[in-house]
C-alpha cells in the first residue's frame, strides 16, 4: 500500500502513512518534526564525528594510497603539459630557457585566464586536467616565475597607461 498523502508514493508505515508523514503527524506538524530532527542531529553529533574519525584513522593504508595516487597523477599531468608546451622533453621557459620544473608555470598568451577561472578551472591541478582533456589548446605557454611576473607587470603598466591616456 502507498501513503495516502497526495504525491507521496512511499510504502505505508502506520495508519496508511509513510514513516515521514506519520512522524510529522505524531509530532503535531512539520515545524515540530523538524525541531525534533535538529535536536537529535545535535545530540548525536559528537558520536557521529568520533565514528568518522575512527573510521578514517583505522584506514591509513587506503588514505595514503589515495593521497599518493592523486598527487602522483597531478605531478605526471603537470609534467606532460609542461613538456608539450615547451616542445621539449625537459620543460623550459620559452623566454629565458630556465628549466627547473618547480619554477615553471603555465601562462595564458592572450591574458584570458580570468575567463577560464569563471568556468571553474581555477588552480594548476584543474588547469592541467583541462588542457589534456581539450587536446592542448594553443593559447598557453610555459614561463618561469620571473618572466611570468615581468609579463604581468608590463600588462598592468600598459593597461594603466591606456586608462590614463583615455581620460586626458
Helix (H) or strand (E) holding 148: helix 145-167
Q: What is the pLDDT, as a whole number, of residue 115?
A: 79
Taking residues 146-151, what's their average pLDDT? 94
Nearest residue to 139 via CA among 121, 159, 112, 115: 112
- Which grid coordinates belong to 29? 506538524
At residue 114, the pLDDT reads 76
* Three-state helix/strand/coil letters over 41-92: HHHCHHHHHHHHHHHHHHCHHHHHHHHHHHHHHHHHHHHHHHHHHHCCCCCC
- Average pLDDT over the chain, rounded to whole? 84
Give the SS3 label for residue 27: helix
111: Cβ contacts below 8 Å, ≥ 6 apart: 155
What's the half-sphere exposure (Cβ side, CA atoms, 13 Å) at 70?
A: 8
Domain-wise residue ranges, the chain: 1-47, 59-167
Percent of the chain with pLDDT over 70: 90
pLDDT tens digits, one per residue of 1-28: 888 888 888 888 888 888 888 888 888 8
Q: Is the dihedral of CA 81, 94, 140, 117 positive or negative?
A: positive
Is the pLDDT assigned to residue 168 strictly greater than 70?
no
Question: How would residue 94 be classed by pLDDT, with cut points 50, 70 and 90?
Answer: very high
The tens digit of pLDDT for each residue in 23-55 reads 888 888 888 888 888 888 888 888 888 887 777
Can you give the pLDDT at residue 72? 80
Q: Give the per-residue pLDDT at 62.
A: 56
Residue 11 and residue 2 in contact, taking contact as beta carbons nearer than 8 Å: yes
The pLDDT-based confidence of 104 (bands split at 50, 70, 90) is very high
User: pLDDT tier at 113 (50, 70, 90 boundaries)?
Assistant: confident
Amino acid at each position: 500500500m502507498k501513503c495516502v498523502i497526495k504525491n507521496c508514493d512511499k510504502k505505508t508505515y502506520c495508519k496508511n502513512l509513510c514513516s515521514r508523514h506519520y512522524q510529522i503527524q505524531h509530532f503535531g506538524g512539520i515545524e515540530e518534526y523538524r525541531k525534533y530532527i535538529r535536536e537529535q542531529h545535535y545530540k548525536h553529533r559528537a558520536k557521529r564525528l568520533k565514528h568518522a574519525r575512527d573510521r578514517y584513522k583505522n584506514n591509513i593504508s587506503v588514505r595514503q594510497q589515495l593521497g599518493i595516487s592523486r598527487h602522483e597523477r597531478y605531478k605526471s599531468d603537470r609534467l606532460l603539459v609542461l613538456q608539450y608546451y615547451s616542445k621539449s622533453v625537459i620543460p623550459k621557459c620559452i623566454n629565458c630557457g630556465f628549466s627547473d620544473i618547480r619554477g615553471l608555470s603555465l601562462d595564458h598568451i592572450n591574458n584570458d585566464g580570468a575567463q577560464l577561472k569563471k568556468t571553474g578551472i581555477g588552480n594548476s591541478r584543474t588547469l592541467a586536467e583541462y588542457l589534456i582533456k581539450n587536446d592542448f589548446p594553443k593559447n598557453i605557454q610555459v614561463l618561469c616565475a620571473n618572466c611570468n611576473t615581468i609579463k604581468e607587470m608590463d600588462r598592468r603598466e600598459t593597461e594603466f597607461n591606456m586608462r590614463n591616456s583615455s581620460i586626458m
